């Protein structure tokens, strides 16, 4: 399968490297509206670089397109790829409006094209283990799910112009909560987006899902660059608790300039290859496209996550600190 990646920034370049090293596909090109970005990634990976998606589609005729553009502009690239007949993997969220998300799923169904959203939490072994424990029923029904996701301030500096902690981080927590409980966000008791002139931003919300369980989530970019991201999950059930504490997996580099926590779980580079949850996600998608098997992230689940995020966005209070 020939693959092109649209959006050659941080996540797009990771996807492109993952595809380049895959035995299931061939990286045929990268696309970015910033010519210098596309050229740099293309040169590094030895593939053509484009600034125009239409030209890239016409010249490479890809079987698969991975969309890793900024959150709010996923729809145009995904629509062009679907119209070209390519299977599409869209970085989460599928879109930042319900209308865009529903339109993409409808178009893919109309054209008979495979569409998946990269909700990477479904590919972390520890979250899969929690989900399988909860779904087995041995702990009883979920009563309360609490999640927290914290990233570095430099991430906020990179993405704050096009997104916020709700759409960039909390979408992970929302989809995870809904996967675990089998419900969608039904009632919002409170939600708050806090943005600071210092670059720190947070989002927090509490409410209930349609299956009856309560949820509380808190997320944002508050950490220094020396710290690895922090994700924490607890599922309180009728007869017990399942939890997963996520961080750098305990690997730290101590140097003259300080300590740095190293990623061993999301997309670590091991023996020159991108590994971890991102490789599992991309290779699952490629294999499912090749075999015609179901995706672990159904399109309906991605749309439900967007619907719930939009509900939280509508309910939230926005506060800005000087």
Per-domain boundaries in the chain: 2-91, 121-262+298-320
- Write the pLDDT tens digit of every residue in 199-235: 899 999 999 999 999 999 999 999 988 888 888 999 9
- Write the pLDDT tens digit of every residue in 20-34: 999 999 999 999 999
3-state secondary structure 124-186: CHHHHHHHHHHHHCCCCCEEEEEEEEEEEHHHHHHHCCCCCHHHHHHHHHHHHHHHHHCCCEE
What is the average per-residue pLDDT within 4-16?
Answer: 97
Lowest mean pLDDT among 10-24, 127-141, 157-171: 157-171
pTM: 0.95
CATH architecture for residues 121-262+298-320: 2-Layer Sandwich (3.30)
Residues 6 or more apart in contact with residue 46 via CB below 8 angstroms = none
Mean pLDDT of the chain: 96
Residue predicted with more confidence, 224 or 135: 135
- Would you say 207 and 187 are in contact if contact means Cβ atoms under 8 Å apart? yes
Q: Where residue 250 falls among pLDDT bands split at 50, 70, 90?
A: confident
C-alpha atoms less than 13 angstroms from C-alpha of 38 in its C-beta half-sphere: 21
The answer, yes or no, to whether residue 249 has pLDDT greater than 80, is no
Residue 247: predicted pLDDT? 66
The answer, yes or no, to whether residue 236 has pLDDT greater than 90, is yes
The answer, yes or no, to whether residue 248 has pLDDT greater than 80, is no
The answer, yes or no, to whether residue 310 has pLDDT greater than 90, is yes
Residue 246: predicted pLDDT? 73
Find how far residue 228's CA is from the centre of its chain.
Answer: 17
CATH 3.40.430.10 fits 2-91, yes or no: no
What 3-state DSSP class applies to 215? strand
- Write the pLDDT tens digit of every residue in 31-86: 999 999 999 999 999 999 999 999 999 999 999 999 999 999 999 999 999 999 99
* Percentage above 70 pLDDT, the chain: 99
Residue 151: predicted pLDDT? 92
- Write the pLDDT tens digit of every residue in 261-305: 888 899 999 999 999 999 999 999 999 999 999 999 999 999 999
Measured CA to CA in angstroms, residue 272 lies from 267, 275, 277 at distances of: 12, 9, 16
Q: Where residue 160 falls among pLDDT bands split at 50, 70, 90?
A: confident
What phi and psi, each to the nearest 5 degrees, are found at residue 241?
-135, 140
Residue predicted with more confidence, 302 or 159: 302
């Amino acid at each position: 399968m020939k693959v092109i990646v649209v959006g050659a920034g941080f996540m797009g370049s990771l996807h492109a490297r993952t595809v380049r090293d895959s035995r299931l596909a061939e990286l045929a090109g990268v696309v970015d509206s910033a010519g210098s970005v596309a050229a740099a990634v293309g040169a590094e990976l030895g593939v053509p670089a484009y600034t125009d998606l239409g030209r890239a589609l016409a010249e490479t005729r890809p079987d698969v397109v991975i969309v890793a553009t900024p959150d709010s502009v996923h729809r145009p690239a995904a629509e062009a790829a679907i119209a070209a007949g390519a299977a599409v993997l869209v970085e989460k969220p599928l879109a930042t409006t319900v209308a865009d998300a529903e339109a993409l799923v409808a178009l893919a169904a109309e054209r008979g094209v495979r569409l998946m959203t990269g909700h990477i939490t479904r590919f972390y072994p520890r979250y899969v283990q929690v989900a399988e424990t909860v779904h087995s029923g041995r702990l009883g029904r979920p009563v309360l799910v609490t999640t927290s996701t914290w990233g570095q301030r430099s991430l906020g500096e990179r993405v704050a112009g096009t997104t916020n902690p709700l759409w960039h981080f909390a979408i992970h927590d929302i989809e995870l909560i809904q996967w675990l409980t089998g419900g969608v966000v039904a009632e919002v008791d409170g939600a708050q987006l806090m943005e600071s002139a210092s670059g720190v931003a947070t989002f927090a919300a509490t409410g209930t899902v349609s299956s009856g369980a309560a949820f509380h989530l808190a997320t944002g970019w508050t950490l220094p660059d020396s710290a690895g991201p922090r994700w924490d999950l607890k599922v309180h059930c009728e007869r017990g608790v399942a939890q997963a504490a996520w961080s750098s997996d305990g690997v730290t580099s101590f140097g003259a300039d300080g300590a740095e926590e190293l990623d061993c779980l999301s997309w670590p580079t091991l023996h020159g290859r991108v590994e971890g949850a991102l490789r599992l996600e991309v290779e699952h998608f490629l294999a499912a496209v090749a075999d015609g098997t179901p995706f672990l992230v159904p399109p309906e689940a991605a749309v439900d996550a967007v619907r719930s995020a939009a509900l939280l966005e509508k309910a939230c209070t926005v506060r800005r600190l000087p």
